[in-house]
Structure 1
Amino acid sequence: MDKNLIKLTESAILVALAVALEFVSKLIPILQMPQGGSVSIAMLPVIIIGYKNGLFYGVLSGLTYGIINFLVDGYAFHWGSFAFDYTLAFMALGLTGVIKNAYSNKIVLFNIGIIIVGFFRFVFHVISGVFFFESGIWASVVYNGPYMLGSIILCMLIGSLTYNRLGAIMKA
C-alpha cells in the first residue's frame, strides 16, 4: 500500500479522535473557559501525527482540526482571531514533526515536544487576545494560561501513561 495513503489515513483517524475528545471535554463544564478555550487532551492526537508522520502531515492535520473545531463550535469576530486561534494555534501542534527523526523512544523528548508545541499554541492565543480581542497582554496571558497549562499537563500525563503503546504505534 502507498505510504502517503497510509499516512493520510492515519492522520484522518487521529484528527477524528481529536474532534471526539474535544466534544467530550465540552460535556464537562468545569473545564470550559467563559470566552472560549478549555482544558482538553484533544491536542494529543495532532501531536502524535507530527511525531509519527512528520511535519507536513502534522501541520496539515493541525490546520484541519482547527477548521473543524471552528466550524463545530468556534467563535471569531475578526479574520485575525480566526487565523491565530483556529489555524496557526493548531498548526503549531504539528511542529512535533520537526523532531520526528530525533524520536528515539525517549519519553523525555516526547514530553518536551508537548511542552514546546503547547507553548507555541499558547503564544498564538495570547497574540489573538492582545490584537483582536483588545485585551492587554497580561490579561490575555492570565486568561489563556490556565487552560493551556492544564491541557499541556494533561497531554503529558496521558501521553506518559500510554507512552509504551504510543512508541510501538509511532514506529509502525
Structure 2
Amino acid sequence: MFKFMVNTEGGLTTAGYAVSIIAGIILFLLAIYFAGKNSDRKKMTTRQLVFCAVAIALAFVTSYLKLFKLPWGGSVTLCSMLFIVLIANWYGVGTGIMAGLAYGILQFIQEPYVLSFFQVCCDYILAFAALGVAGFFAKQSHGLLKGYIVAVIARGAFHALGGYLYWMSYMPENFPKSLTAVYPIVYNYSYLLAEGIITVIIISIPAVAKALTQVKRAALQ
C-alpha cells in the first residue's frame, strides 16, 4: 500500500510528501469545520479559523524546539502538545481530534518513518489525534490542566502499542532484561512525561494561567 509513498529507507518519496500534505490540509479543514459546528453560532467564523490555524502552526514550530531527542524517535519539545490541547479546550473533542490528526500528518512529513500502515497509524495518526480527548474536561474546574494530563497519557498509549508491535527489536542490549515487557512504555513515557511535567509547571504559573484564560475567552467570542 505504501510502496509508491515510501523509499527503501523508510522515508517518504515525492508522491508520499504530496499525499501527506493533501491529507493534512483536508484534516485541517475538517478541524475548522468542527470548530464552527461546536460554536454557539453554529457557523464557522474567521476568528475560529485564525485561532485554530495559529495553534496548529505554533505546535508545529515548537516541535522543532527540542530540549533532547531519543535515538528511535520521540523528543522533549517546548510545549508543542499544549497547542493542540488548547484547540480541544476551546472547541471540544471533535475539533481537537481533527486538529490532532492534521498535526500528526505534519509530524509525519517532518520526520517520516514507515514500517507498516498500522505503525504509521499508531505513531502519527492515532497518537496525536488522542490529544483531542482534552476537550472532555474543557468545562471542568482546572479543565486545561486535567485535559492536558489525560491527553499526554492517551498519546503515550498509542505510541506504546506501536512499540510492542514494531519496535521491540530496537531495545538496547543494556536495557534490564527483567523490564523487557515494559520497554515500550518506559521508552515512550520517558519523553512524554518529561515534556508534560515541564508544560504543567509552565501553565500552572498564575500569570500564564491567567493569560491562557484570556486567550480562551478571545477564541470563543
Assess same fold via TM > 0.5: yes
2:64 & 2:195 partners in 1: Cα distance?
Answer: 15
Q: What corresponds to 2:211 in structure 1?
A: 165
Q: Once the 2 structures are TM-superposed, how far is the Cα of residue 55 of structure 1 from its aligned partner?
A: 1.4
Runs of 4+ displaced beyond 6 Å:
none
Displacement, 1:128?
0.4
Partner of 1:140: 184
CA distance in 2, matches of 1:74, 1:8: 27
C-alpha deviations, 1:8-46, integer Å up to 9, x for none?
A: 331111000000001122xx4xx1000000112110000
Letter in 2 for 1:34: P
Stretch moving more, 62-71 or 2-11: 2-11
Task: Tell me, yes or no, if the aligned pair for 2:156 and 2:189 is still in contact at 8 Å.
Answer: yes
Q: How many Å apart are 1:113 and its aligned residue?
A: 1.4
Residue of 16, 19, 33 corresponding to 2:60: 19
User: If the length of structure 1 is used for normalisation, what is the TM-score?
Assistant: 0.87
Q: How do 1:105-116 and structure 2 match up within 5 A?
A: 106-107=141-142, 109-116=143-150
* Cα offset, 1:137, TM superposition: 4.0
Q: TM-score, normalised by structure 2?
A: 0.69
Measured in 2, the distance between the counterparts of 1:79 and 1:134 equals 17
| Paired position in structure 2 for 1:130 | 164
Counterpart amino acid of residue 72 in structure 1: Q
Amino acid at match of 2:217: K
Flag the structure with larger Rg: 2
> Deviation per CA, 1:40-84, whole angstroms, max 9, x where unpaired?
211000000000111122111101111001101122211111101
Aligned length: 163
1:65-112 deviation line (CA, Å, top 9, x unaligned): 110011011222111111011111111111112222x24xx44x3222
Whether the aligned pair in 1 keeps the contact of 2:168 and 2:184 (CA below 8 Å) is no
Q: Which residue in 1 is equivalent to 2:69? A: 32
CA RMSD of aligned residues (A): 1.7
Letter of the 1:75 counterpart: Y
Larger RCO, structure (CA 8 Å, separation 6 or more): 1
Q: Shift of residue 133 of structure 1?
A: 2.2
Uncovered stretches (5+) of structure 2, i.e. residues with no partner: 1-40, 170-179
Q: Whole-Å Cα distance in 2 between the matches of residues 79 and 166 of structure 1?
A: 37
Partner Cα distance (1:97, 1:113) in 2? 7
